[in-house]
Structures are given as structure tokens and as C-alpha cells.
Structure 1
Amino acid sequence: MLVQFSVSNFRSIEEEVVFKMISDSVREHTSHQISTNFRTPEKLLRFGAIYGANASGKTNLIEAVRFARDLICSGREPDEPLNPPYFRFSGSRSAEPTCIEFILWIDNELYTYGFAVSARRIEEEWLYAQRPGAAERKLFERKSDEDGAIVDHGKSLESPGFSGKVITLVETTTRNNQLFLYSLADNNHKGVLPVVDWFRKTLTVVSAVAQQRQLLLKARDDRRFSDFLSTLLKRVGTGIERVELEGRKIDIKRDLSFFPPNIKKDVQLSLSKLKDGQGIILSMEQMQRIYEKKDGAILEYHLQAIHKDRDGNEVSLPIEEESDGTQRLVHLSPLFADAIDQDKVVFIDELDRRLHPMLSRALVELFNETGSTNSNTQLIFTTHDTHLFDQDLLRRDELWLMEKNKWGASQLVSLLDFDIRNDVKLSRNYLQGRFGGIPKIKYDLTNGSDRYVEV
């Protein structure tokens, strides 16, 4: 689970902002708390909602998480630049590194992992671990200068097969644009795999316009998921009775008419090169298809929404003909289905995008409901939906506000920083500007029509 995330010098974030999933003394919604065996943090939270005006930096916070995940999981090619997107409204910041740090609770152990990265190299990197009732121990610290990088590793990083000499060898072969954590995991060091696997398997980052590329495969191969999706769509009143994945044999010269000519030729070429048992997933705007070659034939799979007409007869529509809101819901559904029986930490940018406020609220309630059988599931999201800014739905320590200062730098504050009673109508106070994080709209805009003279 995520305990804390901090970042500085990243896009609109100049000074360090700290986002916490640590439970405070709020008494409401105790089901949102997850107990640890540590004195600090004693309890973690299930939700985190981040509010703020457009361009306040909410997306940049989530993009910093994505940047770190990609660097940890995918690494860098030998000559690939790091190029972190530093804060650009201060000239001195371009010479300073971007710093990112995570505190994670994994298998009843706390891990603190972070790094400082410049355009040229990994400047610093560190990993510590702590068990309940024990002191924090150092796994490694890395620092770089013009002569190269030095890694100071703790004894706890050594294990059978990974003596100090082996660790030093990994150190000397780690490029200056590569994380030492990535190199250790690439060499199958089991001591760091829990951390790396958290980023690979537990963490999910969803952008405002993202599509789940594995959606169709999941609908085809996981009957439980397709049943879940059908139930969800019916429950929230989309008019869909159920969803089905339909497959058919196609002629690649005749049956790809929905692809534009400039793309169609590339698709035909890719499909013609498939070998038996191979397949590809293709996405274009709202459309998604699976193509597979089986017994010499090309099979096409697509998701269909089944409705009923006024006479009770079934009517089948491709899912891309449904509303944008329904399609957004369909592509978010795997995250909620996985929360039932898997440890997940999900970041979603603009949870409410294209969704009715009542549906956004239903999704938060659904996540809490489905995650109740798995206490190690968290949902962190940005939103403008004031219907979710509600103490009947979320705890005050689960609500955050992002706002830019006069120099264009994003600052993050917790709602706990304000003196608020537990019966206050939060949404009304928020829209009145009591907590900040709202647009500063100037209503006395000058009409520019009289500023120009025709000649």
C-alpha cells in the first residue's frame, strides 16, 4: 500500500509537495482505515481525492507517479536521455534535480525508496526498509558526481548469491542513466523484488483519456470479469443488459473498411504477417479490436452491448456506439473488478470525466464495497466533482486541495489543515472558496472590440 508520496521540481511542482495516505484522528468512515503493525503509521487510508482548479497541478502529481514507475519498471536505453520535466518558471530549477520519494507498506514491512534525477544522470538514489518494532535499516544509498557513482550498501542487501562483491559488480555495470534498483531487479535480487513488483503489479496509473488495452482480452478470457461488467452497466442504468465479446472470421482486404486508408494498409500488412496462434490488439479513437490467426484464418473480436427493444427483443450494438460516459465506465471497470481479490493501488486522473455526478459517487462507493474483502486496496483520484466533496462519503483526511501560488508553483494541502466540524457542508464551503483550490475568475473582463481601430 502507499503510505506517502513526495515530489519536487516536476512540471508545475517547484517546492516539495507531500501526499499522504495516513489516517488521522477523524472518527468517521472507519471502514476506510487499514491497520498496520506499526506505531507510525498505525493506520492507512483507502481513498485519496485531490481537488483543484484547472491547471492547478493535479495531473502533474499523477504524472510524477507515472514518470517514476516507468523509470523503475522500464529503465532507459544506453543513450536515452532522462529529461525530467523540471519546473520552468524559475531559471535556477533547470540545474537542479527532480526528486521523488515513495514510502510503501508491503508484506508488513515499510520501504522508503526515492531518487533525484537530472537530465544527464541519476544524481542520488536510496532504499531503506523497516520491520515492526525494529529500527530502519539501509539497503543502499547511491550518490553521483563527475567521477561516477558510488553505492554504499547495507549488510541487509547481501544474501546468498549476492555477496558484497556481486553487488559491487552490479554497481559498476549500472549506467549513469539507470536506476540501481532497476539493475538489482534485472539481476533477480530477491531483496528488492517486493518494491519493484509493487510498481509492476500493484500500482496502476490511469490518465483522463486512457483506454484499457487488455479490456477485450479480459472480457474474452475471464468470465467472472464479463459478468461483473454486465452487472455494473445494468446497475448504473446505462440500458445495457449485458456485454458479449463477439468473434468472426474476416477478409483483411474486405472487412477493414472502418480504418482510414493511411492506416488500413499498415493494418493489413501486420495481419498478413501473423502466424498461427499469434494476435494483436488495435485501438483507434474509441474503437478497440483483437485480431488473431487460427488455422490459417484471421479472427476479429469486438465488444458488443446487448440492449432490449420495446418488444423485449435483444438489440446488439458495438460498444463504441455507446455514449462517451458509458465507454469511460467500461474502460475503468477492470480496475474495480481487480479490487475484489487483488492488492491494488490505483491512481485515476479525472475520475469524473464524462460521468454524471451520481455515477462518480457510485464508483467510489463500489470501490469501497468491492475492496472491503481486500483491505490492501487504495483508490487515489483527481476530480472537479463537488458531489464527492462530502463527509458522508469521504473522510476529511482523504480530501486534498491543489492550488498554484502567484509564481505558478503548485502547492498541496490537506483538508485537515482547516478547522472544520464533522457536520459542515463541505461542497458549499469549497465552492465559496473557503479552502482554496478553485478557479480565480475575473468577471470584469474588458471587451476587446474597442481596443482596435480599422484603418
Structure 2
Amino acid sequence: MHLLRFTFENHKSFRDEAVFDLTRSSLSTLRPPKDTTWADHIHHVDGIYGANASGKTNVLDALHYAVSAIGASATAWLDRPSFVRRPFVLNSSSTSEFSKFELEFVHDGERYQYQFTTNPDGIIEETLRVVNVRWKTIFTRSSDGVVNGLSKLHLVAPRELAFSRAAQLNIPIIKPIWKSIMRGFDIYRVGDREVSERLERIARQLHERTLSLNELVTLAQIADTGITHIEVEEQPLPPKIAKLFTQLINENSEDTDAEASEQQESSEDTEELREFIARNLLFRHGTGSGKLRESEESTGTMAWLALGTTVVNALRHGHVLVVDELGSSLHPQLSRLIIDWFEDPEINMMGAQLIFTSHDMTLLDAGRGDREKREQVWFVEKGADGASELFNLSDFPLQKRSNIVKQYLEGQFGGLPYTAPSLVYNLLNTHSTEEK
């Protein structure tokens, strides 16, 4: 799938409407012009820059929220005590006002527009449209849950999207589109937890042989890590530990079944616990026989393998990869390499897209040159009222050879922190006074 445009309003630090447009200015019609494809008219890399706490991550969070609602509002979300929602909270009126989310995307060569509106109680509006000659409505949903346009679905609960419910019911016109969205986005969050979870997935994929060991080693060699071999170490739970866990479970159990039944369940629990396997990666460097565990490798190496495998998967399948803080724990050249892969049509043959946030100013060189390049650079700035604003580099009048990095650091585009370094003297003096 391809993402064309994402619009949202009243989500976290974004009180007002924000439009994140990934189409090139060359696309002025509902369909690509003759002898061109969608891949010719979309951005394959878009970067979002701004100060700490400006709201960069909240752009990605809004996208994640919309995709999550489509995926889980008719299932897991219904088990929650209240409707999942994250409105702007710095004024009292916004918490009770509606929030809006809209996705324009391409599935199976067709252009779709899906939008839904929420309030504190649930969904108040929902529409899915497709381009025929003009926009054609597939279904609508009203605030009272009435669905029009789907023969097998006429009414939904206030807190569930009709889109999500229709997918659960396997309605033919909806399910393939829903799958395209669910499988088409991969959201990579910054932090050790994300890296750890991705590495666990890598170990599992290596064990299941859905990921090639040679591919992983090649990825490590691309980054000049010195790794020459990788293997999976498996550590089953020892029988004694499994038995101890079983005893603890039984002691805390409120089950009052007969003794024979308890013994049978205990045996089954023990067997199940024995099958628990912890998988870790082992790394060999050079020609030596020694091996290093994950914990003994550098943070940068682990971050590269976790993100690199995700990047390769996105490129292979044409996914939209969303990365918070691209460059975290990575050398700038590796971040640049990832961007180059997405920009190279000979590598990115499936038309995958990369959306990222970053503080790395060198990546802003993507905005150097003509207008089409500038369209790929976005800024987020937070006002005095705490509300974030999203704007594009192409909004500024710039010459072709403009030094984007220099002008950004000079504050010509906004999106910079307004620091007050002299306040450190007050901080130190206060500490000294307290000691006296």
C-alpha cells in the first residue's frame, strides 16, 4: 500500500487540524497521469524535525492511533472501561470536542479515503470512499451507529468502528482493504524496549527459518560491525524451576477441584512450563571461536540489527515504515544509508515509504535542491498555548542552492528550542545558597 495523506485534529498536543501530505505537487488529479504510477507521485521519505517536546512524536502517535482504532476498536478496545481517546488537554473545551482522523491511501492500485470522528463517548461519524471517475462512497456510519452501504452490517456499537467490525465479519468488500492497512504499516518506536522486542522477534524468525542467517550477517557487515557469524542460543526452563513455578501457581489457585484433577493439571502445567524457551543471539567476530551475547555487544550494533531487519522487510513488501527518532544509537551514515535505500528505485522496487522524526540536522540535506525535495521536510513547533503546529519546508521561499541546515539552525524555519542557557547561573546559585 501507499500512504498519500494523513489528516488529524485534536490529538495530544495538536489541537487544530494538521495535514501530513506525502503526494508530490506533480499529482493534481485523482489518479496518476497516463504512463505514470502511484510510485512516481508520492514521497518515499519524509522527515519531521523540531525541538524536544514540540510534538514531532505526536504526529506519529496520531497515525498509530488511527491504525490501532481500525484494527482493534471492534475487539480489544471494547474490553476497556472507556473509549480510547487522547485529545488536547491544555484547555477544558478540547477534551469534550471531537477528534478527527483521515487516511488517504492506495490499495491494489485504487485510491481510498477513510475518515472517522470521535468524541468522549465513541464514534460519531465514519466514511470510506474510493475513486472511480469521481469519489464514490462505499459506506457511511452515523452517530447512532447506523451503517449504510454494507449489506451484512447495519448497526454497530457506539465505541466500535464499522470498518473494524466489518473486517471481523469478513465482509468481502472491506476485509482486503482492512488487511492492507493492518499489514501495510510498521511503527518503530525509540528506546531499549523496542530494540529488545525486535531482537526477540529476530531470534524467533531465525529459529522458524523465516529469516535467513546469511541475510542477518550481511546486514551486520553492511554497518561494519565486525560480525562474521550469528547463531541462536536456546535455553529451556530447567525442570526444577518449572516444578517450582507450578507449585506457586497451585498454592495461589482458588480452584477447588478434586485432588486427582489437581494433580493432572499440575502435570500439564509443568509440561507446558518445560516447553518455555528463551532464545538469545550469539555473535562471532573475525575468525576466532569466541562468541558474544546480545548484552555484550554495543548498543549501536543491536539498534542497527533491530532497525535494519525492519527496514529490509518494509522494502521487500512495500510497507509504510514509521520510525521515531531515526538515528538514535546509530552513526549518521547509517541513517543516511537507510534514507538512500528508500529513495533508490532500484532498491525500493515495491514503493515502500519511510516516515521519521529526528534531530539529526545532516539528514535535512534531503531538502536541498528543487521543490520536490523540500516537500519531504516537515517541522513541528509548539506555541505559547501548548498547541503544536505542523508545516512544510516548501512553504518557505528558498533558492535552489539554499543551505537548509544552516538556515534551520539560524531559526529561519522555526522548529527550534528557545533555550535560556544563562539560567544555569540561577540554578547553581540556588544550590549554593541552600548548602549555606
TM-score (normalizing by structure 1):
0.79
**Aligned amino acid, residue 388 of structure 1:** L
The corresponding residue for 1:324 is: 299
Q: 1:447 to 1:365 in 2, by over 3 A?
A: same
Q: How does 1:432-443 map to 2 (within 5 A)?
A: 432-443=410-421
Q: Which moved more, 1:237-246 or 1:57-66?
A: 237-246
SS of the residue corresponding to residue 424 of structure 1 reads: coil
Match of 1:306 among 277, 281, 284: 284
Match of 1:180 among 148, 158, 162: 162
The corresponding residue for 1:47 is: 45
The corresponding residue for 2:215 is: 228
Cα contact 1:319–1:327 (8 A) shared by 2: yes
Match of 2:350 among 354, 370, 375: 375
Cα offset, 1:371, TM superposition:
7.2
Q: How does 1:178-217 map to 2 (within 5 A)?
A: 178-209=160-191, 210=194, 211-212=197-198, 213-217=200-204
Match of 2:308 among 321, 326, 333: 333
Cα contact 1:116–1:125 (8 A) shared by 2: yes
| Rounded Cα–Cα distance in structure 1 between residues aligned with 2:80 and 2:306 | 35
**1:96 aligned onto 2:113:** no
Cα contact 2:316–2:350 (8 A) shared by 1: no
CA deviation map 1:88-127 (0-9, x unaligned): 1222111102111100111111111111112211111111
Cα contact 2:226–2:285 (8 A) shared by 1: yes
Cα contact 2:118–2:125 (8 A) shared by 1: yes
Cα contact 1:234–1:242 (8 A) shared by 2: no
Match of 1:343 among 318, 331, 336: 318
| Rounded Cα–Cα distance in structure 2 between residues aligned with 1:221 and 1:151 | 43
| Rounded Cα–Cα distance in structure 1 between residues aligned with 2:239 and 2:304 | 31
Is the helix fraction higher in 1 or 2? 2
The corresponding residue for 1:141 is: 140
Report the aligned-residue RMSD.
Answer: 3.2
Cα contact 2:213–2:230 (8 A) shared by 1: yes
Cα contact 2:127–2:140 (8 A) shared by 1: yes
Cα offset, 1:152, TM superposition:
3.4
The corresponding residue for 1:362 is: 337
| Rounded Cα–Cα distance in structure 2 between residues aligned with 1:292 and 1:77 | 34
Q: 1:116 to 1:82 in 2, by over 3 A?
A: same
| Rounded Cα–Cα distance in structure 2 between residues aligned with 1:231 and 1:373 | 18
The corresponding residue for 2:378 is: 400
Cα contact 2:47–2:355 (8 A) shared by 1: yes
**Aligned amino acid, residue 406 of structure 1:** A
The corresponding residue for 1:61 is: 59
| Rounded Cα–Cα distance in structure 2 between residues aligned with 1:80 and 1:36 | 45
Q: 1:392 to 1:404 in 2, by over 3 A?
A: closer
| Rounded Cα–Cα distance in structure 2 between residues aligned with 1:128 and 1:430 | 39
**1:167 aligned onto 2:153:** yes
Q: 1:272 to 1:349 in 2, by over 3 A?
A: farther
TM-score (normalizing by structure 2):
0.82
CA deviation map 1:329-364 (0-9, x unaligned): 121122222134312011111111111212211222
The corresponding residue for 2:88 is: 87
Cα contact 1:337–1:370 (8 A) shared by 2: no
| Rounded Cα–Cα distance in structure 2 between residues aligned with 1:404 and 1:40 | 37
Cα offset, 1:322, TM superposition:
1.2
**Aligned amino acid, residue 10 of structure 1:** H
Is the strand fraction higher in 1 or 2? 1
Cα offset, 1:240, TM superposition:
1.4
| Rounded Cα–Cα distance in structure 1 between residues aligned with 2:415 and 2:326 | 17
SS of the residue corresponding to residue 56 of structure 1 reads: coil
| Rounded Cα–Cα distance in structure 1 between residues aligned with 2:351 and 2:313 | 12
Q: 1:121 to 1:254 in 2, by over 3 A?
A: closer
| Rounded Cα–Cα distance in structure 2 between residues aligned with 1:370 and 1:325 | 28
Give unmatched runs, 5+ long, in structure 1: 27-34, 158-162, 256-260, 279-290
Identity level (%): 27
Match of 2:148 among 129, 146, 152: 152
